């Protein structure tokens, strides 16, 4: 399933979130050289899920000029049958200068639950390693689909500063009886800075305060006011396996709804949907807990839950990539 997705982020109510939070460095090894090379072009071009034979992390492509592409490839890792893992890898900034990214595309072997691309100041190349699902940092892209891409509207781009590196976080849940050799690759496509009139950002809102008793159904809700005017490109959700329904409204209008927790397709707006600062955002997560344990907010897709609304928009205030909602 291909859908266009995008997300850049920075600071917000993830302090309360305890999920996808922080930025934890666990190793400082060196990268290898093998990688799948994806060329510039429309989203979806290049290797498919698990495409290529990459066994070491690498950066390929040039990415230094408009229309160039550059790919980050994680080292291959194995997810055992029935296993759930978070794996992360750091990459030094491969561009060597400020660049404007107009499109992202990603490919992951089946069994993935999400991929997050974090900004990481001063990052150096490292080996992939176990990491926490409760770490989070500013990010320009995320997805819950094995094969995904986003092309931002004309004149809109994500600004990557020269001193900013990256950290890829991949979450896998293997529900099969065989091991998964996971391949993860993410490609940037760049444009000329003089063509950019606005930078994109992310509205990321979390409701972490809930406890769902064993053998019960509960609706978890969150309401807040949008911080300023914004043109929404995409809206989506994040839940775990007990999530059966998610809906989000702004005012009286439903802007996103799904009954899928594992690969929810985002709502895409062409043209972008104009929303006003002060508008009321409300979202609701319905959870059915058939387990003998109380479910609380946490990293495991099996034994915890999350209730998160995410929206990509432009323009973002200067110096900001992610905002919350009070």
Three-state secondary structure of 70-88: EEEECCCEEECCCCEEEEE
Contacts of 194 (CB under 8 A, 6+ apart): none
Residues 179 and 151 in one domain: yes
pLDDT in the model for residue 64: 58
Together in a domain, 222 and 249: yes
Beta strands 99-108 and 147-151, pairing class: antiparallel
One domain, residues 100 and 45: yes
Q: Which long-range contacts (CB under 8 A, 24 or more apart) does 242-246 make?
A: 242/212, 242/287, 242/288, 242/289, 242/290, 242/291, 242/295, 242/305, 243/285, 243/286, 243/287, 243/305, 243/307, 244/286, 244/287, 244/288, 245/284, 245/285, 245/286, 246/283, 246/284, 246/285, 246/286, 246/307
| Domain count within the chain | 2
SS3 274: strand
Q: Do 64 and 12 sit in the same domain of this protein?
A: yes
Instruction: Report yes or no on whether pTM surpasses 0.95.
Output: no
Does one domain contain both 188 and 42? yes
Residues 145 and 221 in one domain: no
With contact defined as beta carbons under 8 Å apart, do 277 and 313 qualify?
A: no
Q: Which of 271, 171, 290, 277 is nearest to 230 (CA)?
A: 277
35 and 183 in a single domain? The answer is: yes
Q: Do 238 and 210 lie in a common domain?
A: yes
As a whole number of angstroms, the longest Cα–Cα distance in the chain is 58
**Among candidate residues 146, 181, 199, the one where a domain is terminated:** 199
Together in a domain, 111 and 254? no
Alpha-carbon torsion (304, 170, 200, 273), positive or negative: negative
In angstroms, rounded to a whole number, what is the distance separating the alpha carbons of residues 251 and 89?
40
Q: Which of 37, 55, 54 is nearest to 46 (CA)?
A: 37
Q: Examine the fold and report which residue of 199, 222, 239 is the final residue of a domain before the chain moves on.
A: 199
Residues 227 and 249 in one domain: yes
Q: Are 295 and 224 in contact (CB under 8 A)?
A: no
Q: Is 195 helix (H, G, I), strand (E, B) or coil?
A: helix
Report the CATH number that the domain containing residue 14 is assigned in CATH: 2.60.120.310
Q: Are residues 143 and 168 in the same domain?
A: yes
Domain of residue 49: give its range. 2-199
Q: How far apart are CA 63 and CA 8, in angstroms?
A: 19
What CATH number corresponds to the domain at position 297? 2.60.120.230
- Give the span between the Cα atoms of 247 and 237, in whole angstroms: 8
Q: Cα dist. 178→84, 111, 173, 181, 183 in Å?
A: 13, 11, 12, 10, 16
CA pair distance 150, 134, nearest whole angstrom: 25
194 and 205 housed in the same domain: no
Q: List strands edge to edge, sheet with 243-250.
A: 216-225, 280-289, 243-250, 253-258
Q: Which of 178, 199, 220 is the last residue of a domain?
A: 199
Distance CA(196)–CA(205), nearest Å, equals 27
What are the pLDDT tens digits along the chain (326 aa)? 333 333 333 333 343 333 333 322 223 233 333 232 333 333 333 333 333 333 457 778 766 556 789 999 999 999 999 999 999 999 999 898 899 999 989 999 989 989 999 999 999 999 999 999 888 888 788 889 999 888 899 999 998 899 999 999 999 999 999 999 999 999 999 999 999 999 998 888 999 999 999 999 999 999 999 999 999 998 999 999 999 999 999 999 999 999 999 999 989 999 999 999 999 999 999 999 999 999 999 999 999 999 999 988 999 988 888 888 98
pLDDT of residue 253: 96
């Amino acid at each position: 399933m291909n859908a266009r997705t995008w997300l850049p982020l920075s600071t917000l109510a993830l302090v309360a979130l305890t999920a996808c939070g922080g930025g934890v460095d666990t190793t400082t090894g060196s990268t290898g050289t093998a990688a799948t090379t994806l060329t510039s072009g429309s989203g979806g071009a290049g290797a498919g899920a698990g495409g290529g034979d990459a066994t070491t992390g690498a950066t390929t492509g040039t990415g230094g000029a408009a229309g160039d592409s550059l790919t980050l490839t994680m080292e291959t890792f194995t997810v055992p049958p029935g296993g759930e893992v978070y794996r992360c890898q750091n990459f030094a900034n491969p561009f060597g200068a400020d660049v404007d990214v107009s499109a992202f595309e990603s490919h992951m072997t089946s069994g993935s639950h999400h991929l997050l691309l974090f900004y990481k100041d001063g990052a150096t190349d490292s080996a992939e390693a176990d990491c926490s699902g409760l770490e989070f940092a500013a990010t320009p892209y995320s997805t819950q689909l094995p094969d995904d891409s986003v092309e931002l509207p004309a004149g809109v781009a994500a600004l990557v500063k020269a001193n900013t590196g990256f950290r890829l976080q991949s979450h896998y849940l293997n529900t099969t009886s065989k091991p998964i050799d996971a391949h993860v690759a993410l490609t940037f496509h760049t444009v000329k800075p003089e063509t950019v009139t606005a930078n994109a950002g992310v509205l990321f809102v979390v409701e972490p305060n809930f406890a769902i008793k064993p053998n019960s159904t509960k609706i978890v809700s969150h309401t807040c006011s949008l911080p300023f005017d914004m043109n929404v490109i995409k809206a989506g959700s994040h839940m775990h396996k007990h999530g059966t329904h998610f809906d989000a409204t702004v005012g009286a209008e439903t802007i996103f709804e799904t009954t899928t927790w594992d690969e929810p397709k985002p709502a895409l707006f062409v043209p972008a949907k104009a929303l006003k600062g002060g508008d009321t955002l409300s979202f609701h997560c319905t959870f059915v807990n058939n387990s003998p344990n109380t479910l609380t907010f946490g990293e495991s897709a099996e034994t915890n839950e999350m209730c998160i609304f995410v929206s990509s928009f432009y323009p973002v205030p200067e110096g900001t990539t992610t905002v919350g909602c009070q």
